[in-house]
Structure formats: C-alpha cells, structure tokens
Amino acid sequence: MRSRNVVLIGFMGSGKTSVGLRLSYRLRLPVEDTDRLIERREGCSISELFAEKGEEYFRRQETELLRELAERNYAGIFSVGGGTPVRPENRALLRRLGKVVLLRIKPETVYDRLKGDTARPLLQCANPRERIRQLLESRQEAYEDGADVIVDVDGKEMEEILDEIVKEINKMKILVINGPNLNFLGIREKSVYGTQDYQYLLDMIQRKAEDTGSEITVFQSNHEGAIIDRIQEAYSDGTEGIVINPGAYTHYSYAIRDALASITVPKVEIHISDITKREDFRKVSVTAPVCDRQIYGQGLEGYLQAVDFILGR
C-alpha cells in the first residue's frame, strides 16, 4: 500500500501543491496538502498563522500533523510545505507516508514563479531574490537526504514533470545483499561457484535493473552485524523487495534470520550452488523459513530469477 503513495517535497514554488493536484487526477488517487490541512485546522491562512503565532508554532503543527497522517495509513498523494523536510524527524515521517519525490528547483526559477506572491511569509522581505538563494542553499542537503526520487523541474512543462514522476514511482526498489566471501567470486572454489568474478555479477544485476526499469542496490559485507544493519535500514528506506545470499551465515545466523523476519517485503534467499547437495552443515538454512522463496543451484542466473520473483514475473 505504501509503495503507491507519493509525497512531494521541495522549495517554495517548486510546484508541490499544483503537481499534487494534477498527479491525483492522473493516478486517480486522493491528494492532501499539509498547508491546506493546517489552515483548515487553525481556521486561518498560513500568513496569518505566522503573524499571529510565529513560525515555531507552525513547525510544531506540521510535525504533529505528519505524525497523525503516518499513523492513519492513508492511501494517496501528499504535498507538504517547503520547510517540512528540514527537521530530521519529519524526513523519517515523510518516508513512512510514501515514496518521497523531491521537485528540485533553481533559485532563479523560484524567483520568476513567486515574484509578487504574498502568500509565503518567509519571502516577504526587502530582497526576496537573495532570501530565496540563501534559504534554498541551506535546505538543499535536507531535501536530497529526504528524497527517494529527484525530479528537476526547471524549464519543464507540467506534463513532462508528471511523466517523469510516474515513471520513477513505478520503479520497484530492490535490495540485493551478498554475505561473506561473495566478493571472492572467481577466486574461491571455482568448481562450485564458477569462474566469473564479483564485478561480473554486479554488472549482470545492473543490466537487469535497466532491462526491467527497476532500481537495484547491491550491498556486500563479510560481517554479520553490517548485514543486519543494512537489513534494518531497508525497513525505512523504501526497499520493496530483498534478495539475499547470506553465504555461510545461512546455516547458523539466527541474528540475520531475526532481522529478515522483521521486514515484511518479499524476500528471496539465493545460493549459487545447490546447498542441499553439499556437505551436511550446508543442508540446513536457518534463513529460509523467513524468506518467501529459495533459489539454489542456478549459478549467477539465480540472482536474475530472484529479481523476477520480486517483480512478480
């Protein structure tokens, strides 16, 4: 459900509110704009709220509202205020709401779009051009950190922006995890694991991502704790499917098993060799029961089959 939700972030004037409305029409999903929700709740405009209660009060309302929305399991599109992603806690809440799309914009475009605008209290000053430049620069890092997808909007028509967003949000985000010794492919026991090296595997997976229009990230570690940390990260980074080759940890890491059990996205356990036909200690997989599918003995091709499984092919 979460994966169809879209959250639009970006600087004032980047088009969050207007893109949200158009996207809602295109995807036939409801839309909520957090500024409008706050205005309705407070019974006054954002400008009046800033003037009467101050920016800090508005920021508290913003975070409070995001918390409520995140708990509500709402399906649809959200556009938020330009300052929302500045607080790290808000960035985490936005990710809980859906796929976060940053409408990235240059200061000159903001100025062109908003000169003469009176509804944005932060730009009501003697030199709005300079204020935009400074504020945008100070926020850019937070915007990019909070985004799953970035769409540059300068010089683009609305339709082009909508097409890009739809293409990006349809990309499934898959994480491939390779455990100990997989970086030694092409070096270790070639009769079992083949002669191709690890880079060959990475290139193969990258081609699969391009062919299927999906986003595949590959992580490799020889350390149990690092693998667990990465699985936990997948809980909140928008990962929609996990392919894991836990290497020898397969046979005894209850800790990796427990980490996998806590993530509900589809999971595939893959082994290059057929572990059921090797030494006795390899016949047991403690991770298999918490995965949705096992692919054994298909060589490197097994990774592609695992990706297909996640994509529902």
Ligand X SMILES: Nc1ncnc2c1ncn2[C@@H]1O[C@H](COP(=O)(O)OP(=O)(O)O)[C@@H](O)[C@H]1O
Ligand Y SMILES: O=C(O)C1=C[C@@H](OP(=O)(O)O)[C@@H](O)[C@H](O)C1
Answer yes or no whether residue 101 interacts with ligand Y by CB under 6 A.
no
- Asked whether 146 and 38 are in contact (CB, 8 A), the reply is no
Say which of 143, 193, 249, 303 is annotated catalytic. 193
Question: Residue 19's CB: how many other CB atoms inside 10 A?
Answer: 25
Catalytic pick among 111, 223, 254, 271: 271
CB-based burial of residue 10 (10 Å sphere; 0-12 exposed, 13-18 middle, 19+ buried)? buried
Residue 74 annotated as catalytic: no
46 versus 169: smaller Cβ distance to ligand Y:
46
Question: Binds 122, which of ligand Y, ligand X, Mg ion, none (CB < 5 to 8 A, cut-off by type)?
Answer: ligand Y
Q: Determine if residue 251 is labeled as part of a ligand binding site.
A: yes
CB of 169 to ligand Y, least distance (A): 20
> Would you say 40 is a known binding-site residue?
no
186 binds ligand Y (CB under 6 A): no
Query: Within positions 22 to 61, which residues make up the interface with ligand Y, using CB under 6 A?
Result: 35, 46
Number of residues that this document lists for the chain: 313
C-beta of 140: minimal distance to ligand X in Å? 15
Contacts of 300 (CB under 8 A, 6+ apart): 194, 196, 200, 201, 204, 272
Report the partner that residue 113 touches, choosing among ligand Y, ligand X, Mg ion, none (CB closer than 5 to 8 A by kind).
ligand X
16 is in an annotated binding site: yes
As a whole number of Å, the end-to-end CA separation of the chain is 19
Q: Which is nearer to Mg ion, 46 or 209 (CB)?
A: 46
In the set 7, 8, 16, 90, which binds ligand Y (CB under 6 A)? Answer: 16
Contacts of 74 (CB under 8 A, 6+ apart): 5, 30, 32, 97
Q: What residues numbered 9-48 form the site for Mg ion, per CB under 5 A? A: 16-17
227/184 Cα distance (integer angstroms)? 17
Q: Which residues are catalytic?
A: 193, 271
